[in-house]
Amino acid sequence: MINKKIKSKSNFFWIYAVIFAIFLGIFFFKSSLSNPKKIDQDTFFDILSKGEVQKIVVKHKETVLVYLKKNVFFQKNPNTYNNEKKLTSSLLKYEFEIGDLQFFQKKFEDYKKKYNLNTTIDFKNQQEYTITKFFFDYGIFFILLIIFWIFIFRRISATGGGPGSQIFNIGKSKAKLFDENDNVKITFKDVAGLEGAKEEVQEIVDFLKSPNRYTKLGGKIPKGALLIGLPGTGKTLLAKAVAGEAKVPFFSLSGSDFVEMFVGVGASRVRDLFEKAKDKSPCIIFIDEIDAIGRSRGKSSIAGSNDERENTLNQLLTEMDGFETNTNVIVLAATNRSDILDKALLRPGRFDRTIIVDLPELNERKEIFLVHLKRLILSNNVDIDFLAKQTPGFSGADIANICNESALIAARKNRSKIDNQDFIDAIDRIVCGLEKKNKIIKPNEKKRIAYHEAGHATISWLLEHSSPFVKVTIVPRGRTLGAAWYLPEERQLTTVEQMKDEICTLLAGRSAEEIIFKNISTGALNDLERVTKQAQSMVTIFGLNDRIGNVSYYDSTGEDEFNFSKPYSEKTAQIIDEEISKIIKEQSQRAKDILKNNEKKLSILANQLLEKEVLFREDLKQIFGERPFPDEMNEVFN
């Protein structure tokens, strides 16, 4: 029945369209009949001499309109005569421009006398069109046009609009609605790790499902929850799981969906979103990347440049604060830039809960690997514990990428199953880039690279607090010509000794170059960048310098983004520079001393590296013996 109605409406649309096209064709055909052909004066007088001209009309003393006699006109246009016998006002045929009117009139009169003509001449200097004439000529066309557009608009409003009707819905919310009719398959079982975040979000879902369980004790529904975490940690995935678990309407959109070039559109979309949410209550609104509209107000360097964004934020604040306690609408939002959000947005009553979504730890990474490995075909030697320990600092998105990349590498090698080595190659590929086997490196440069990387490996093996060594390679990848791989310990606190050992390990590459080649190269750029930041953080952030003392110039509120003055004096700045330089020089000399004491073993390691290109932990054991310090990760490699 509904399909028949839609079909009949579509038929009526085409009928109206055809009628409109017919009237439009008649209008333009009629107009074409009255369009005169341009000629010159000599041609006119030639036609006049033949007695074919009935009359001429001089307009504004410049233009002459030439009307032919009826029998002559229809002889020249037989098709028009056959089809348009009833048109008696279409004798206008030619027009031309004149210069001197008096000269033209004299010549015209001379031709009339010479050829005995009865052609008349009229003059028109007044306005050509009156309101009445204009209406009769064009009024019907415009009336039909208006009726046609009214019909189109009514169809747009009746059908809900299409691509052509977007301009009429510009103030409407772009939120996508998920309800019981949508098959949202992601649940909390698919979100590995994030146990604390899942617990808090699960409580919100339970509140919407059975609010009496909480309200009977006097509790109120939270207005909102803000998910804060680094990119790829699973904030959006957690929100998708909420949509799959809640079994209540779920509105999903991005903060940028409120942004538009037209003034007032953002605020209008916020109002429309919350009106829809109230109608679907109980429900959840999820705003991803809320920092697009939630940035702190009044901090733009250009006055008035963010008025529209601030108006949108003001409307959002009003809507969230204006909810009644019994509306059962909760706002979830996600951002990785919480430091720039407006304080009014973060206060209780709007976002009552702040849920931190951290990078996964060792056990959580193992759970994430298990989730993503379900769909892969694995060989028996894949060690998930090893992979979890091999990926410290990796987010859930990074781990998903490793699993996918390992499958691609295995397929590239024509394997039927994914091997443990494929995962290691995938980690190398993601961290350092694609292996460049055809990169041309001169022998002397390759030797320098080998000693540089051997220096890193040697120091990391001999220092107590350096990260456990995994492998060293001189195979170029991405922008790197070589790399030493470690397994960083996952610790919550770092001591001064640990930071100094890390700096010493980073400086070991350049120190090895200086010892062996008596000069240095540009190959330590990345090492020096990391060393400088490490030493700077020791002095200015963590208060780990005796001369500066227990002082930190770090601003966790993000206010320094808009403050261009230093929080310390010029004298203190000089002391900071001196202490940073002192730390780096001390650790550089320490690295040189250790390498000089082990120069023979350093050379053996570098030569083996030149021969094999990749050396592992077992190779270093053969050269240096067992590591002289307890290694928490020994069981990983045993």
pLDDT tens, residue by residue, 15-31: 656 666 666 666 555 55
Which pLDDT score is estimated for 90?
41
DSSP state of 335: E
Which pLDDT score is estimated for 638?
47
Banded pLDDT at 5 (limits 50, 70, 90)? very low
pLDDT, one tens digit per residue, over 182-192 is 666 777 887 88
- Taking the C-alpha atoms of residue 372 and residue 231, their distance in angstroms, rounded to an integer, is 18
Which pLDDT score is estimated for 454?
93
Q: Given a cut of 90, is residue 475 above it in pLDDT?
A: no
Please check whether residue 637 is in contact with residue 616, taking contact to mean a CB–CB distance below 8 angstroms: no
pLDDT, one tens digit per residue, over 135-185 is 555 666 667 667 766 666 565 555 444 444 454 455 566 667 776 666 667
- Which of 62-66, 459-463, 514-518, 619-623 is predicted least confidently? 62-66
pLDDT, one tens digit per residue, over 290-304 is 988 888 876 554 444
Helix (H) or strand (E) segment spanning residue 319: helix 307-321
Which pLDDT score is estimated for 456?
93
pLDDT, one tens digit per residue, over 200-251 is 888 888 887 777 787 788 777 778 889 998 888 888 888 888 877 877 888 8
Please check whether residue 485 is in contact with residue 472, taking contact to mean a CB–CB distance below 8 angstroms: yes
Which pLDDT score is estimated for 603?
93
Banded pLDDT at 451 (limits 50, 70, 90)? very high
Which pLDDT score is estimated for 532?
95
pLDDT, one tens digit per residue, over 102-114 is 888 888 888 888 8
Banded pLDDT at 80 (limits 50, 70, 90)? very low
pLDDT, one tens digit per residue, over 536-590 is 999 999 999 989 989 998 877 665 555 667 888 899 999 999 999 999 999 999 9
Report the candidate in 65, 47, 44 with the shortest Cα–Cα distance to residue 56: 65
Please check whether residue 449 is in contact with residue 481, taking contact to mean a CB–CB distance below 8 angstroms: yes
Gap between the terminal Cα atoms of the chain = 73
- Compute how many other C-beta atoms are within 10 angstroms of the C-beta atom of residue 290: 28
SS3 126: coil
Give 24's contacts (C-beta < 8 A, 6+ positions apart): 141, 144
Banded pLDDT at 511 (limits 50, 70, 90)? very high
Residues 485-512, mean pLDDT to the nearest whole number: 89
Which pLDDT score is estimated for 7?
44
- The residue among 575 and 353 whose pLDDT is bigger is 575
Which pLDDT score is estimated for 506?
94
Q: All domains of the chain, ordered by start, with CATH?
A: 34-128 (3.40.1690.20), 176-357 (3.40.50.300), 374-432 (1.10.8.60), 443-637 (1.20.58.760)
User: In 34-139, which residue ranges form alpha helices assigned H by DSSP?
Assistant: 41-49, 70-76, 78-83, 101-115, 131-134
Residues 428-448, mean pLDDT to the nearest whole number: 84
pLDDT, one tens digit per residue, over 241-272 is 887 787 788 888 888 877 766 666 778 888 88
Banded pLDDT at 527 (limits 50, 70, 90)? very high
Which pLDDT score is estimated for 174?
66
pLDDT, one tens digit per residue, over 329-339 is 888 899 988 88
Residues 53-60, mean pLDDT to the nearest whole number: 83
User: In 116-187, which residue ranges form alpha helices assigned H by DSSP?
Assistant: 131-134, 140-159
Please check whether residue 360 is in contact with residue 368, taking contact to mean a CB–CB distance below 8 angstroms: yes
Residue type, 224: G
- Residues noted as catalytic: 453
Q: pTM (2 decimals)?
A: 0.64
- The residue among 4 and 417 whose pLDDT is bigger is 417
Please check whether residue 528 is in contact with residue 522, taking contact to mean a CB–CB distance below 8 angstroms: no
What's the whole-number average pLDDT of the chain? 79
Relative orientation angle of helices 307-321 and 265-279, to the nearest 10 degrees? 20
